[in-house]
Every structure is written in structure tokens, then in C-alpha cells.
Structure 1
Amino acid sequence: MTTSWFLMCFLAKVWGHKWADLSEHNFGVALLNDSKYGYSIHKNTMTLSLLRAPKAPDTTADMGNHQFTYAIMPHSGSFQDASVVQCAYSLNYPLRPIQCHPDSAPWSAFSLSPSAIVLETIKQVEDGNRNLVVRLYESHGSSITATLRSDLPVKEAWHCDLLERRDSTQPAHITSEGISLNFKPFQIVTLLLCF
């Protein structure tokens, strides 16, 4: 039965960041892009809004020349199995090679497992000390335990809010393997890393 709620959810334009996917059990297609945020899917058509061009409050919004990159990614299996999220990030943030000293040991600021967890933000704290804030989210819609590893000398890790206020009741569990984190589906976690 088609309801107005169904029509609103699936025929309206919805926001999205970096990718949209339309999948069945064994296959699907993803639409990846680097700078557009509106998608709609109706029957067998997936669209990406290129410009909005509103006339208020700024009459010149979206005017001029625009460049953007997009990719159509057919895949087998689910969007999770096809690594659609990782491919969208690769399109948006391509690797930039840098030259290292040939004698330097392998080093990684951060690594994560499993791949359902995305490290979205790394930033210095606003209070000016050497600590960092990292923001991660679960991208597959599952409850999962993840491990954040770092070659940085992290002494403490705390859950914090978006204003970087430490939650003293929620220290993150640091083990020899890294920082162990529990995620609910699509949950965002912000950590304060102290050095």
C-alpha cells in the first residue's frame, strides 16, 4: 500500500553527503560525488541536484561556473559489502603522497577496525593545549565494537561532547591493542585524546 509517508520518504529530495545508494539483496548502484548534497530516487531513476540557485536571502547564490566530480558505482552485494562509504571517501579525499626519510619505521597516526567505523575528524582542541579531538561514526547501521589504534603517545582518552567538554564518567578503555569503543547503529562518538 502506498501511503503519503512512503511518497514523502522515497519521492522527495533528501540530503546526503558524499554518496547515495540504491540496492537490492545481491546488487546495487551508488552515486558518489565531491560537493553536492541533494539526491532523489524514483522508480529506476536516481538524481543528484547540481545547483539550488535560491534567490533569497542572497540573489547571487550558486551563480557562476562550478566544477564537481561524480562517479557511478555499480556493485554486487550490499553497500556495506561493496565498501561504498570507503569509495566515497577515496573520491573526496584522494591519497596525497609525501616523501619520507628512507630509514623511518612504518608509522600511522590512526587506524581503525572494522571498516564500518569512519574517522571523520581529527583536530586540535580549542583550549590551545596539545590534545586532540577525534570524531568517529558507525556507517553500516550495526551495533559494533571497534578499535582505534594510534602511534601517537596517547595517555588518556575520554568521551566528550561537541563542545569538547570531557565526560568524566566515560573514560575510553585503552588496551595494548588501542582504544576500544562500542557503537550503536549510525552513532557518532567524539573523543578527547590526551598526550
Structure 2
Amino acid sequence: LVEEGPLRAAVRVVRSFGKSTVVQELRLAAGARQLDIETEVDWQESEKVLKAAFPLDVHAERSTAEIQFGHVHRATHDNTSWDAARFEICAHRWLRVAEPGYGVALLNDSTYGHDVTRAPHPDGLGTTVRLTLLRAPHSPDPHTDLGVHRFRYALAPGAEVTDAVREGLALNLPLRAAVAPAVPALVSTGHPAVTVESVKLTEDRSGDVIVRLYESAGGRARTRLKVAFPVTEARITDLLERPLHPAETDEDGLIVDLRPFQILTVRLTPA
């Protein structure tokens, strides 16, 4: 036990394998359901794969993995040779397995290889999710992956798809502490499935602001886009920021309608 307080508790686990050592810190914040894990590996093995395994009491027929601006479903069985050959799959910031009414998400910070298998459980069938950390192949470099590596990932029990999207973003873009007065969010939405992906200036250097958002749950969504600065004009554009049509507005702001996994780009002209 390396940390025990009113806000967080942490446990450090040290393991060895061959000539290698693995040091893990497992942290649980007060009131949180998410287990944060930091792993430091001094890897001195060759042609061996290191994975972090999570045997879960979840009867999942498929896994759900994030891809850019959406997610994809994959079966967990290996009924065919094609299924068996797909021994590893990729996921962007999160991978989720679920049964009706309950799901678990594995969040990662730039570690994208996974495998998902069905596993026996005393009361039925469970699911094992593994995150591939290191491979150490001989080609193209005989010293590939040797040395010290650090990984951040987290396990989020009870997570829906929208929870996985939000927490996956938070893990990859952690908060930075600063001494400054409180300010409202520059851009926000009121729908859990509508994700603000980026806020930036336009490429034409006009001073207009681009807000790019997308629907992340695979359904239709209608929400209001709240902006923390006065705007004189709002237009919907394509991905190259070319105007398509005026955005729908009312006295309280912008209203956006999104189809499943739709990417929407809004161009705002500040007052």
C-alpha cells in the first residue's frame, strides 16, 4: 500500500519475469468506479509478448472497439479459421465488452493492440480482455522493445459506450493544473453521445472558429451547442471548411441534429 487517504488509495505490485521487472501502481479515487493502472516495464526478453490480462465476469458475444469518429463490433467466438486467425484486434482509446444491462470498458493511452476471448467461469462463461504492451521481435531491429517502458490504462466497470468515449478522452488528455481564475468551457453540448472533437481557428486565417463534433453512440442525436463567446454568424461546412448552409439557431444558441456516427463541422464568426 503506497497511498491511503480520503481522496485516493494506491497499491504497488512488483513482478519479475526472466531478466525483466514489471512495477504496477493501481489507483482508485474516492467515489470512482474506474481503476487507474500505471505500469513500468524494464523489458529484457526477446521474441516474447507481454500482455495485461483482465478476466471479466461478463458474458459477451461481441466486443466494441473505438475507431476514429465511431466504433466497430467484433464477435468474440472463434468458430471459423478466419475468426481464429484474428487473434489480435485494434482499438483506439477504448474497448468494451458487455452483456444485456452491464458492460466493462478497458481504456488505453496509445496502446492499441487487444485480444478478446471467451473463458470458462464457475457460473457459466466469462470474457478475458488482454492489452498487448510489448512484443520484442527480432525484425527489423534485434533490440526492438528492449529497455524501460511506461503504460497508462484503466478498467471501467459498468461503463456504457458514452462513458467509454468520455473516459477514454480524459485518459488521453489529462487535466493540467494551473493557478488561474475559473472560466466556462469554450464549447459544450448537452448530449452525452455528442463529442466535441476539436476547436480551432480556420485554415484561411480569417479569425473564424471551427468546431468539429460527432455522434459517438451509433444513434441519432439532437442537442444544443453552447459557445462561451458572442457569435455573429454560424455556418455548417464540409471537412475542408467550405460553407454548406447556415446553422440552425435560436435565442439560446445553436441547435444541431446528427445521424449515427455523423461528423459535423460548424464555422463560427466571433462578434
- Determine if contact 2:96/2:161 at 8 Å carries over to the other structure: no
Residue 53 of structure 1: CA displacement? 6.7
Of the three residues 168, 178, 187, the one matched with 1:88 is 168
Going from structure 1 to structure 2, the CA distance change for 1:6 and 1:180 (only over 3 Å counts) comes to: farther
Structure 1 residue matching 2:217: 3-state secondary structure: coil
What's 2:68 paired with? Answer: none
- Between the aligned partners of 1:189 and 1:62, the Cα distance in structure 2 is 39
- Between the aligned partners of 1:163 and 1:53, the Cα distance in structure 2 is 40
Are 2:246 and 1:171 equivalent residues in the alignment? yes
Name whichever of 141-150 and 185-194 sits farther off: 185-194
Structure 2 residue matching 1:7: 3-state secondary structure: helix
The structure 1 segments of at least 4 consecutive aligned residues displaced by more than 4 Å after TM superposition are: 1-6, 51-56, 58-64
Alignment RMSD (CA, Å): 3.0
Letter matched to residue 74 of structure 1: P
What's 2:83 paired with? Answer: 7
What's 1:186 paired with? Answer: 261
- Between the aligned partners of 1:123 and 1:62, the Cα distance in structure 2 is 36
Going from structure 1 to structure 2, the CA distance change for 1:178 and 1:14 (only over 3 Å counts) comes to: farther
Q: Which runs of 5+ in 1 are unaligned?
A: none
Letter matched to residue 170 of structure 2: S
- Between the aligned partners of 1:110 and 1:193, the Cα distance in structure 2 is 11
Are 2:116 and 1:41 equivalent residues in the alignment? yes
What's 1:140 paired with? Answer: 217
Going from structure 1 to structure 2, the CA distance change for 1:147 and 1:60 (only over 3 Å counts) comes to: farther
- Between the aligned partners of 2:225 and 2:81, the Cα distance in structure 1 is 39
- Determine if contact 2:210/2:266 at 8 Å carries over to the other structure: yes
- Between the aligned partners of 1:131 and 1:60, the Cα distance in structure 2 is 48
Larger Rg: 2
Structure 2 residue matching 1:67: 3-state secondary structure: strand
What's 1:160 paired with? Answer: 237
Of the three residues 79, 85, 88, the one matched with 2:160 is 79
Going from structure 1 to structure 2, the CA distance change for 1:175 and 1:45 (only over 3 Å counts) comes to: same
Letter matched to residue 246 of structure 2: P
Going from structure 1 to structure 2, the CA distance change for 1:185 and 1:51 (only over 3 Å counts) comes to: farther
1:12-57 CA distance string (max 9 Å, x none) = 533322111001112221100111122231212212232467846x
Letter matched to residue 132 of structure 2: S
TM-score, normalised via structure 1 length: 0.79
Percent pairwise identity: 36
Structure 2 residue matching 1:68: 3-state secondary structure: strand
Are 2:88 and 1:25 equivalent residues in the alignment? no
Letter matched to residue 96 of structure 2: D
- Determine if contact 2:210/2:267 at 8 Å carries over to the other structure: yes
Aligned residues: 185
- Between the aligned partners of 2:241 and 2:144, the Cα distance in structure 1 is 33
Q: Which runs of 5+ in 2 are unaligned?
A: 1-76, 119-126
- Between the aligned partners of 1:12 and 1:161, the Cα distance in structure 2 is 38
Structure 1 residue matching 2:257: 3-state secondary structure: strand
- Between the aligned partners of 1:175 and 1:154, the Cα distance in structure 2 is 12
- Between the aligned partners of 1:59 and 1:172, the Cα distance in structure 2 is 56
Are 2:196 and 1:123 equivalent residues in the alignment? no
